[in-house]
Amino acid sequence: MKFGPAKHFIALLLAAPLLTGCLERGQPTMVDTSADDDAFCRANNVAVGSNDYVNCRKNRDVQRGNANARADRSQRNLAEQMLNNPTRP
């Protein structure tokens, strides 16, 4: 029972979906939040292009960065706590 290259091709087709998960490692996909930030800053009656508008957008960016840093730190702390305090049944 010899299949030759067809056997390898079928194995590759079956393994390809499993390997695509490796491409998702690292940073998550960036989400475009410019429309949300724009709507938030315009809701405060700030003219687009003014110094207040630029400051508003910068503040929103800093707040988002701080929230991401808090989430990352929380995840690291949880992982470290789980490693240092394993539960044994």
Tens of pLDDT, residue by residue, the chain (89 residues): 566 777 777 777 777 776 666 665 565 666 667 788 888 888 988 888 899 999 999 999 999 999 999 999 999 999 999 888 877 65
**Can you give the pLDDT at residue 2?**
62
With 0-12 / 13-18 / 19 or more C-beta atoms within 10 angstroms meaning exposed / middle / buried, residue 72 is exposed
**Per-domain residue ranges of the chain:** 33-89
